Structure 1
Amino acid sequence: MKRQFIFFSVLFLFLSCTKKEKIDTFPFDEFVFASEALHSVFCIKFTKSDTVYYHRIFPEPVENSYAVINLEEKGELNKLLRETNFEKFDTVYANHVIEDAQTYLINISNLGKRKSIYLYAGEAPKELDRFIKSLGEIKGKLHFIPTNKKVDFGDLKSILPAPPPPMPVKKVN
């Protein structure tokens, strides 16, 4: 009986010491990426959960959808976010001489702090360009399912097209 107890104790010790796969937690409370181009406007929201939200604004119809990110994709995303030091970047990179160029907006929320990075007309630092390309590859792997759920994507004013001017009012004599 004593030998069995020692055997199982040693076996338990070895089994509990095996290498466990480390899964990094999501580094932000929320991470929203938005893109506006001539033929499309969308935003995508990542949170600490395994659900990713997508909001297509243009072309019509406006649509909300979601995808469940698998463990491999989540690890890839977490690594990408941890390797990019967003604090070192300015809040605006824009070339206002060019019109109708690609626009990106990154909104980060963590522990009550918010940071936005606005990118317009290819003025992003190379590190942010690589980040955006990698994020696009992750987005391309996701399979989005339409939903009626309302999702808060935060402040998108800087990327949304301006509303049309009001219609002229005719004076009645």
Structure 2
Amino acid sequence: MDAIKLLTQDHQTVRQLLTQLEETTTRAVKKRADLLAEIAVQLKAHTTIEEEIFYPAFKAAGDKSDDAMMYFEAMEEHRAAGDLVLPDLQNTPTDSEKFSGRAKVLKELVEHHADEEEKEMFKRAKKLMGAAELKTLGEQLEKRKAELVKQFKAEAKAAA
């Protein structure tokens, strides 16, 4: 699978999980906790493979200041969602109204980021990198993601 296809599928998975989370009520404590745990694993694995593999390849292939700007903006959006909003949500009681609001903010951040990547960065990546390079990157992303999902799930289980 090529890199763009894999990353786009990741976006769809996380969007669906966030939609399910948004549709829960304050009474769905266990469901919220389970969904949030899965969202955290998927988001951390996704952002890690982008930052370790895809973004550096994109930046190296880029030849314009716009490419570098896309790279740095994407990194900052990851930081906002993964280092600020997600941990804040994880520390919020799942039966509170604050949880609902923070879940909505995370969903909006992720959707904005995914939309931008799909409309701008991925289109540009297709022009900068050939099909063979995208396929090779996709294989690297897939392998690393499997390792990370396993690791993050084990860490979550140990922390619980």
* TM-score, length basis structure 2: 0.31
In proportion to residue count, which structure has more strand? 1
In proportion to residue count, which structure has more helix? 2
